Structure 1
Amino acid sequence: MENLVLLADAYKYSHHKLYVPGTSRIYSYLESRGGQFSETVFYGLQYFLKAYLEGAVVTADHIREADEMMPQIFGRNDVYDASRFAYILEKHGGKLPVRIRAVPEGTSVPVHNVLMTIENTDPNCYWLTNFLETLLMQVWYPCTVATLSREIKKVVHSYYRFTASESAMGGIPLVLNDFGFRGATSVESAGLGGSAHLINFSGSDTVAASTFAKRYYHATTAPGLSIPATEHSIVTLRGEAGEASIFKHVLDTFPTGVIACVSDSYNIFRACAEYWGGELKEQVLARDGTLVIRPDSGDPVRTLLAVFDILFEKFGYGFNEKGFKVLPPQVRVIQGDGINYESIRQIYAALQNAGISAENLVLGMGGALLQRVNRDTQEFALKCSWAEINGQPVEVRKSPVELDAEGHLRTSFKQSKAGRLKLVHHEKGYTTVGEAERPELPDLLETVFEDGKVVKNFTFEDVRRNASI
């Protein structure tokens, strides 16, 4: 188990002295202050609660380890105060005296709204609320991956609605596949970010994502689905001259079901025209299943358009009820190179302009899904908005100014909210209001953690249902 006493930014160990005398309660909130997308999916808090905060997370050994390290970090002995953590151990049995409320996981909330609040429940632990900011702020990562994945799903939906047959709509959950495990910074980030993607799609080669969903969100079965597929180490074993024989071996090995084969090891266009659509054509069309051909290099749009032209010529095509070309069901294409939010939109637009249905193509996304995001993608921040000092409530906010392009002062987007907050939903959507405002509307924030215990659990199906489009 990680030592929670050491899971904070170093400067926070001085805050027990720096809060003004008489402070007894600190109440802070989390929000997405803007960013790339207008909505943010809230996901991942339950993992942090269960993995790091639940139960007796402050122990004597933890305190002793911190006793040794913190004076080394500061070069002085009057910053870190072990008695603060010893109090939690003795008074609360090592359990954290805080209350955390949050929007139901999977909910997509417009930016600039409260997503989570945290406050201490023991007045002697006023310093604990924002001490936990460092760890809890990391919820930005699964939230951002879930948001990105859901925004891509919106794009897929829009092109499917316009170009794909109605019978193909049920395949949308398998359109975007997570190829990001090897590019993630850690197994933890692969599991956390990968499970965030699985809120919206089912296709994934990141096994750790399903592990996380089962371990922390009570998924009864693995939510991430995959298929047999080759890689270049398989296809190149017999050299360029033997590529076609490897392709045949793939078909012979899996005569039924869906199988994907990377086909750009030497010449993707020759592979499509002479091998898949030539000497192996009859075997492909005789299969009870689908061959998914994978280009893996070159400009995605130009390559895909050329590949589809070849495949239409070699395998033939039909027109769906919306008037767009569709390959025979035994043949599809997956693009897994150069895939990101912008390129996906460009690819589908190019297919539509060429009269090609979106149902011919599935996608694989790696680093751009799990790694090409950061806390500023959706501008996450956790700020204090209310406190109690000498028994009196105090509304707290920051309101910095900045210079605009003309050199005039203006209020920064980093202005924070004040007071105790609640999230409500009405005819115009979600709104953050003061705790006492709009009494006729229920607060959508629910208590999920209190005094060391997770008091509200979400299943993975709950999260998927909340995030559905």
Structure 2
Amino acid sequence: MTNLVLATDSYKQSHFLQYPPEARAISAYGEARPNPFSEEVLFLGLQPFLIDYLAQPITQDNIEEAAEICAAHGVPFNRNGWQAVLDDHGGHLPLEISALAEGTIAPTGVPLFQVVNTDDRMPWLTTFIETALLRAVWYPTTVATLSRKCARIIGAGLAKSSDDPDGQLPFKLHDFGARGVSSGESAALGGMAHLVNFAGTDTLEGIMAARRYYGADMPGFSIPAAEHSTMTSWGREREEAAYANMLDAFEGEGALVAVVSDSYDLDNAVDNIWGGSLRDKVLARKGTLVVRPDSGDPVETPARTLAKLWDIFGGTTNAKGYRVLNDRVRVIQGDGMNVASIARLVDRVIADGFAVDNIAFGMGGGLLQSVTRDTLRFAMKANAMRDGEGVWHDVSKDPATDPGKASKAGRQAVVVEDGKMVAHRADAVDPSADLLRPVWRNGELLVRHTFDQVRERAKA
């Protein structure tokens, strides 16, 4: 799936015949429209697309393959146009893309990027790449926005109950989503998006994406952890031995080890094994045991487990008056976690008199897969056409049946007014104030963001 000439919707192959004859350039912008999920978005994902897709020039083989496919598929093919891309531009699409800096927290309804063709013979090219470009941006932006919402919920709980909220937060939401996504590329982009907000992950593709596309060193961390197969392979009669092996195998100063404890009976495991036969062993270790409930009610079960561990192992009361478990034990809840259940669990932990320090959260498919383009109502729309005289004409839609789908007319700019980003017509603002800066032109990456820069901007 690497042929950029075919990385579009079938019907777009016919669009070179549909624009007005006077068209020389088409401008289009992409945004997250106002939506019920979030009033702001964390912009991410354009740079990987530029590096992996637009930086790869098309070839003669790509053109021939596309011509063959389109002929058999029943749609026209713009052979002359694509041949000109290859012959006159070395296979690089003659496009300029301007965008907000990645990691920017932008209000919905504000353009995140804007595209225009740079060869007057190819006004059709701008919207031809909509499918691939929008797909590249909406997914990591949506995952990053979802992850950030979780960070704000957990962060508020920590601010209320913890003596060290800033130190605790980076490892409070762990990404377990690699197996729950539709592809390795999704795991990479979504896992990377989560790492903008947190440092806990088991999605190695996300780490590799942050390193490859944004030059990160090591943006995410994990710990040794059990799964049901490694526990149940010992047999029910040797459950205690399986747990003891985990404590012995991963010993060390400050070492953490997570053990799934519901293979048979969670309450028995907590009361009679962790809190009974293995209690002294847990207390004698130099590291921390993280007990993982993995079934039952996603709020009640971890809350009950936390209360039991307090009764067994005790702890301290912090300066804010909340209980903190003995540092040899903690809890992680990964089953059934989403934005709503995390909020409920945070509230329950605090209501029970515990600091949020005691518990970590994990998300899988709910983090990396349970989002769609409609979650943030992403769209890319044409907003202007330049004619042969060099005059820009407004282009927009305003459907009477759905005013919420109205698009912006005229070349766009994003400026800050009264501390907030707003969209304006580009011809009505000082170009130096425009936050949509060129990042790509005719095959050349003009700006390369680092992962540290993305993370820093996302703290806004």
TM-score (norm. length: structure 1)? 0.95
Match for residue 333 of structure 2 among 324, 332, 335 = 335
Question: In the alignment, what sits opposite 1:408?
Answer: none
Note the C-alpha offset of 1:440.
Answer: 8.4
Residues 391-424 of structure 1: CA deviation (Å, up to 9, x unaligned): 232011101122xxxxxxxx51111011111111
Counterparts of 1:370-409 in structure 2 under 5 Å?
Answer: 370-391=368-389, 392-402=391-401
Match for residue 245 of structure 2 among 240, 244, 249 = 249
What is the alpha-carbon distance in structure 1 between the residues aligned to residue 172 and residue 435 of structure 2? 32
Question: In the alignment, what sits opposite 1:31?
Answer: 31
Match for residue 355 of structure 1 among 317, 341, 353 = 353
Counterpart of 1:11, as a letter, is Y
Match for residue 236 of structure 2 among 237, 240, 243 = 240
Where 2:113 maps in the other structure, the secondary structure is strand
Note the C-alpha offset of 1:325.
Answer: 1.2
Question: In the alignment, what sits opposite 1:207?
Answer: 204
Residues 16-37 of structure 1: CA deviation (Å, up to 9, x unaligned): 1011111110000011102211
Match for residue 186 of structure 1 among 183, 192, 197 = 183
Match for residue 318 of structure 2 among 317, 320, 325 = 320
Say whether the 8 Å CA contact 1:163–1:358 is kept in structure 2: yes
Note the C-alpha offset of 1:216.
Answer: 1.0
Say whether the 8 Å CA contact 2:413–2:429 is kept in structure 1: no
Where 2:362 maps in the other structure, the secondary structure is strand
Counterparts of 1:41-56 in structure 2 under 5 Å?
Answer: 41-55=42-56
What is the alpha-carbon distance in structure 1 between the residues aligned to residue 220 and residue 441 of structure 2? 32
Note the C-alpha offset of 1:351.
Answer: 1.1
RMSD: 1.2
Where 1:425 maps in the other structure, the secondary structure is strand
What is the alpha-carbon distance in structure 1 between the residues aligned to residue 302 and residue 173 of structure 2? 16
What is the alpha-carbon distance in structure 2 between the residues aligned to residue 350 and residue 356 of structure 1? 9
Residues 110-162 of structure 1: CA deviation (Å, up to 9, x unaligned): 10111100000000010000000010011100000000001110111100000
Note the C-alpha offset of 1:199.
Answer: 0.4
Q: Aligned residues: percent identity?
A: 42
Question: In the alignment, what sits opposite 2:453?
Answer: 462
Question: In the alignment, what sits opposite 1:169?
Answer: 166
Residues 85-132 of structure 1: CA deviation (Å, up to 9, x unaligned): 001111111111000000000111010111100000000010000000
Counterpart of 2:373, as a letter, is R
What is the alpha-carbon distance in structure 2 between the residues aligned to residue 13 and residue 238 of structure 1? 59
Say whether the 8 Å CA contact 1:102–1:448 is kept in structure 2: yes
What is the alpha-carbon distance in structure 1 between the residues aligned to residue 423 and residue 338 of structure 2? 32
Match for residue 437 of structure 1 among 412, 425, 428 = 428
Question: In the alignment, what sits opposite 1:73?
Answer: 73
What is the alpha-carbon distance in structure 1 between the residues aligned to residue 435 and residue 286 of structure 2? 49
Say whether the 8 Å CA contact 2:178–2:203 is kept in structure 1: yes
Where 1:401 maps in the other structure, the secondary structure is coil
The worse-fitting range, judged by mean Cα deviation, of 129-138 and 418-427 is 418-427
Where 1:300 maps in the other structure, the secondary structure is coil
What is the alpha-carbon distance in structure 2 between the residues aligned to residue 433 and residue 32 of structure 1? 16
What is the alpha-carbon distance in structure 2 between the residues aligned to residue 438 and residue 174 of structure 1? 42
Counterpart of 1:37, as a letter, is S
Residues 327-363 of structure 1: CA deviation (Å, up to 9, x unaligned): 0111100001000011000101111111111110001
What is the alpha-carbon distance in structure 2 between the residues aligned to residue 241 and residue 203 of structure 1? 33
What is the alpha-carbon distance in structure 1 between the residues aligned to residue 207 and residue 314 of structure 2? 38
Question: In the alignment, what sits opposite 1:407?
Answer: none
Counterparts of 1:73-152 in structure 2 under 5 Å?
Answer: 73-74=73-74, 79-138=76-135, 139-152=137-150
Where 2:302 maps in the other structure, the secondary structure is helix
Where 2:434 maps in the other structure, the secondary structure is coil
Question: In the alignment, what sits opposite 1:153?
Answer: 151
Say whether the 8 Å CA contact 1:424–1:441 is kept in structure 2: no
Note the C-alpha offset of 1:441.
Answer: 6.4
Counterpart of 1:238, as a letter, is W
Structure 1 pair 62/374, CA: closer, same or farther in 2 (3 Å)? same
Question: In the alignment, what sits opposite 1:406?
Answer: none
Say whether the 8 Å CA contact 1:425–1:441 is kept in structure 2: no
Match for residue 413 of structure 2 among 422, 426, 429 = 422
Residues 300-344 of structure 1: CA deviation (Å, up to 9, x unaligned): 111012111211110012211111111011110000100001100
Which segments of structure 1 move beyond 4 Å, counting only runs of 4 or more? Answer: none
Counterpart of 1:248, as a letter, is A
Q: Which runs of 5+ in 1 are unaligned?
A: 403-410
Say whether the 8 Å CA contact 2:315–2:327 is kept in structure 1: no
Say whether the 8 Å CA contact 2:310–2:325 is kept in structure 1: yes
What is the alpha-carbon distance in structure 2 between the residues aligned to residue 441 and residue 452 of structure 1? 24
Note the C-alpha offset of 1:439.
Answer: 2.3
Residues 169-218 of structure 1: CA deviation (Å, up to 9, x unaligned): 30210110000001110000000110000000010000000111111111
Where 1:192 maps in the other structure, the secondary structure is helix
The worse-fitting range, judged by mean Cα deviation, of 272-281 and 122-131 is 272-281
Say whether the 8 Å CA contact 2:303–2:349 is kept in structure 1: yes
What is the alpha-carbon distance in structure 1 between the residues aligned to residue 458 and residue 166 of structure 2? 18
